A and B are shown apart, each in its own frame.
Chain A
Amino acid sequence: MSQVRKKRREAFLLGNEAVVEGALAAGCTFYAGYPITPSTEIMETMARRLPQLPDGVFLQMEDEIASMGAVIGASLAGRKAMTATSGPGFSLMQEQIGYAAMTETPLVLVDVMRGGASTGLPTSPGQGDVQQARWGSHGDHPILVLSAADVPECLEMTVTAFNFAEKYRTPVVLLLDEITAHTREKVSLPEPGDFEVFSRPVPTMPPEWYKPYEETLRGVPPMPPLGTGYRFHVTGLSHDLLGFPTSRPEEVAALVERQFRKIDRFFHDVQLVEHVMTEDAEALVIAYGCVARSARLAVRQAREAGVRAGLLVLKTLFPFPRSHVEKLLRSCRLAVVPELNVGQISREVKRVNEGYAAVRTINRVDGQIIAPAQILKEIA
């Protein structure tokens, strides 16, 4: 009792700045990017912070394709590396995301979603990149897509993104929106030890025994940094256990199967949701990002009005937290999915619904937020 508890450091941060705090707490030492609204504060903060670290590297690249290339290279060399972008830049990064997924290179990509297609509404919020985050790169590949709804969560979910990337050797996309990224809130700054921090498994066997894409218990093969004696081949071509190109059907199928299984087997670990008054809910709201904040108020107001409303906040968007959603759909009469797009997560909800509940959508694509009243109207 007599111990003086050290006062926690607090700061009043933008969501974008909180991402940087989270990244540094997770051990990120490498950032490469290209400026784009509304993600730029992540890059600018990294530009000031990383050179202050003994081995920190910040690079402004010539475009988003190069940014992802540099991040992949740094990760192969053993660094925890990230980039951040917004819609148009996210589109440019897609091929490299597929390369990272195929080569099982851990990295974190923050996409701050703005409004509209193409150049769209650069300074307005949107949630139109959701399905692109899952399927934007060609070909079947596993990927993790996370989201955050407020500033403290931006910090926390960035740590989670790095942990998942390292644990499962996969690119992880953290989807924010312009509102969450540009909201300023009080954040408790992380002290060492606050978060459990994972680093990728590295091989312990002698180099001559090492098979870079060998099956392991968890499906995640160990990954040595380049230059540490484990000389192996990294390729975006379909490859065998040694990493060399192959087109033998049994080897190709085994590779794809393992790449999906390494995520599938740990659904319980990677599918993060927050339940708000869902135990007895009849009317359920499923939301993520800034819309989840409006939904939170709407659900509270509905409760005050006597409606048994509940909210499921999706922190993991993909793999879609099916088990959580399905369970609630079975017990609710109504599910409302408000989104700042024409219906990208509601597709997933409808896909798992199978007639359990009535699914209503609220879609807004004019660059404006969905207000609590709009959600309340649907559930009350």
Chain B
Amino acid sequence: MAEVTQLIHQYLRHNKKFPLVFCPGCGHGIVLGSLVRSVHALGLSKDEVVVVAGIGCSGRIAAYVDFNTVHATHGRALTIATGIKMANPGLTVIAVMGDGDAFSIGGNHLIHAARRNIGVTALVLNNFIYGMTGGQCSSTTPEGAYSHTSPMGQLEAAFDIVELTRAAGASGVARGTVFHVKALDGLIAAALSQPGFNLVEALTPCFTQYGRGNGFKSAVDMFKWLKDKAVPLEAYEKLEDKAGRIPIGVFVKRDAPGLETRYAAMRQRLLEKRGGAA
């Protein structure tokens, strides 16, 4: 059996209907593939992996993968993930969110998850748009871009997910794209194996709701755009003209213990103080 077939049989739910719910040309399925390959590469058991997803197109990923899956409320995936990780630190908890989910409605939870450095991996599928509700601008929609709720062009500035998460104190921050798939596999696997809060931003095109209204001729055109604009971080730093280019790679890598680890240590100290067994 080809490796991909094996992975499909092993990690995708047989009782779910395929093809995926995603539109033709959507990059979300590629991120799903990356997630599965990363879990596989790390040799994690399916029972110990929990995927908590938000609401929106990205949220539907949870239903397809044969892990413990929780399709949360909009923007609150990280809060539920935090509860799960603190309740059972032995689990590998992955929060799959979209840009609206993670940075608009859930922005407060994201910065606090990063600040408290909870041992959760956040996988943010950034397509610059609210896809499922039909193409409204989000907090990552580029300035000037058109959407159904910015028909004259977006006046507001976009969040830089990497910079925001870095400033909030995350253990690890990385950015990849669905064009650079091998690299994305590596970024997710690295995030999953590091302690503390790790965020991976995956740039993924939405031709249906974003591309068509913003000068892209086809979904392929959007993948070409990712190929042209995304530059590995080291090369990006050497660029003279950075305008319009997007750095990808690992931006933050701190070896800081997650909150669940620090909490267990505190409980142990209290126990020893009371003269209990170590």
Output the residue of A53, A229, A233, A245 with the most chain B CB within 10 A: A233
- Measured between beta carbons, the chain A residues less than 8 angstroms from B76 are 65-66, 69, 96
Q: In this complex, what residue of A is CB-closest to B82? A: A70
Inter-chain CA distance A71–B271, complex, in Å, is: 25
- A residues 351-378 touching B (CB-CB < 8 Å): none
Which one of A51, A69, A244 contacts B79 once the chains associate, using CB atoms below 8 Å? Answer: A69
On whether A69 and B46 interact (CB within 8 A), knowing A62-B112, A225-B88, A236-B73, the answer reads no
- Interface segment among B35-43, B61-69, B225-233: the answer is B61-69
A57 at the interface (CB under 8 A from B): yes
Binds A, one of B22-30, B122-130, B207-215, B262-270: B262-270
Complex Cα–Cα for A312 and B88 (A): 44
Residue of A nearest to B92 (CB): A227
Q: How far is the CA of A244 from the CA of B50 in the complex (A)?
A: 16
A227 to B91, CA, bound (A): 7
B52: interface (CB < 8 Å):
yes
User: Which residue of B48, B66, B83 is within 8 Å of A30 (Cβ)?
Assistant: B83
A72 lies within 8 A of chain B by Cβ: yes
Given A51-B266, A56-B267, A233-B62, answer yes or no on A77-B84 (Cβ-Cβ < 8 Å): yes
Using a CB-CB cutoff of 8 Å, which residues 2-61 of chain A contact chain B?
A: 30, 32, 51-54, 56-57, 59, 61
Q: Total interface residues on A, using CB and 8 Å?
A: 46
Q: List CB contacts (< 8 Å) of A230-247 with chain B.
A: 231-237, 242, 244-245
Query: Chain B contacts of A56 at CB under 8 A?
Result: 267
Contact yes or no, A99 B263, CB < 8 A: no
Complex partner residue of B86 from A70, A95, A231, A235, CB under 8 angstroms: A70
Residue B31 CB within 8 A of the other chain: no
Q: Within the assembled complex, what's the spacing in Å between the Cα atoms of A62 and B88?
A: 21
A98 nearest CB neighbor, chain B only: B73
Provided the pairs A233-B69, A242-B15 are in contact, do residues A76 and B90 lie with their beta carbons within 8 angstroms? no
Is B254 an interface residue when CB atoms closer than 8 A count as contact?
no
Contact of A30 with B86 in the complex, beta carbons under 8 Å: yes
Number of A-B contacts (CB under 8 A): 137
- Within 8 Å by CB of A76, from B66, B70, B108, lies B70
B217 at the interface (CB under 8 A from A): no
Evaluate whether A73 and B82 lie within 8 angstroms (CB atoms) in the complex, with A57-B263, A227-B91, A231-B67 already known: yes
Please name the residue on chain A nearest to B59 by beta carbon.
A235
CA distance A233 to B48 in the complex (A): 14
- Interface residue? A81 (CB, 8 A): yes
Q: Which residue of B lies closest to A100 (CB)?
A: B73
Q: With A30-B87, A227-B88, A233-B63 as known contacts, state yes or no: A96 contacts B73, CB within 8 Å.
A: yes
Say yes or no for B187: interface residue by CB 8 A criterion: no
A244-B84 Cα distance, complex, nearest whole Å: 21
B68 touches A95 (CB 8 A): no
A78 at the interface (CB under 8 A from B): yes
Q: Are A226 and B86 in contact (CB under 8 A)?
A: no
CB of A79 closer than 8 Å to a CB of B: yes
Q: Mark B223-261, 1 if CB is under 8 A from A, else 0.
A: 000000000000000000000000000000000000000
Can you offer 8 A-B residue contacts whose CB atoms are under 8 A?
A56-B267, A59-B83, A62-B109, A70-B79, A76-B70, A99-B72, A231-B46, A235-B70
B contact set with A: CB distance below 8 Å: 15-16, 46-48, 50, 52, 62-63, 66-73, 76, 78-88, 90-91, 108-109, 112, 263, 266-267, 270-271, 274
Instruction: Pick the 5 closest A-B CB pairs, nearest first.
Output: A73-B83, A69-B79, A70-B83, A77-B87, A235-B71
Q: What 19 new A-B contacts, CB under 8 Å, besides A70-B86, A73-B81?
A: A30-B86, A51-B267, A57-B86, A59-B86, A69-B72, A69-B82, A70-B83, A71-B83, A74-B86, A78-B87, A81-B83, A81-B87, A225-B88, A231-B46, A231-B47, A231-B68, A233-B69, A234-B69, A235-B70
